Amino acid sequence: MEVILMADTFDELGPVDWLVVEFPGPNFGNGQVAPFLEDLVQRDLIRVLDMVFLRKTEDGTLETAEISDLDPSELGEVRTAEADLAMVLSEQDVMDLAETIAPGHSAAVLVWENQWAAPFGTAVRKAGGQLVASGRIPTQAVIAAFQADADAEAESSEETKEGA
């Protein structure tokens, strides 16, 4: 995914991430997620750079929408962010991401800057450093790892009790 930002516009720029969140049915989660996104923006933790909404009909036909195209009940307060969006996703990006959505589902595509990390990133760049690797561990994998540790600890504790 290509993200193009004008360097003169940003003295400090934090890491930029993107995600696609899929919802069953056509309604983008009934506005239940919007207040949490709005909270992150209001606390200056993130800056939303782009947001696109996708729907796939049962026959696989894709419908795309911008914030202004949707009913307020579908998005809640997120609608107020539209004027500040940079539109960094290309049409090809959107088409590629749409492949991940199941027929009959809707999805929100979100691109954001991690403002909380901007001072650190700026310091790294000024010191001549550059990001050479990055990654994300899915939440489900972290939960599974913690559960496996807890299960192993419980099993070990049980074996200790039996051996005593």
Token pair for residue 10? 């940003």
CA 158 remoteness from chain centre: 41
Tens place of pLDDT per residue across the chain (164 aa): 444 444 444 567 788 888 999 999 888 888 788 888 888 988 989 988 888 899 999 999 999 887 777 776 666 555 545 445 666 788 888 899 999 999 999 999 988 889 988 899 889 889 999 888 888 888 889 999 999 999 998 888 777 777 66
Closest CA to 53 of 92, 22, 88: 22
Residue 6 has a pLDDT of: 43
Residue 56 has a pLDDT of: 93
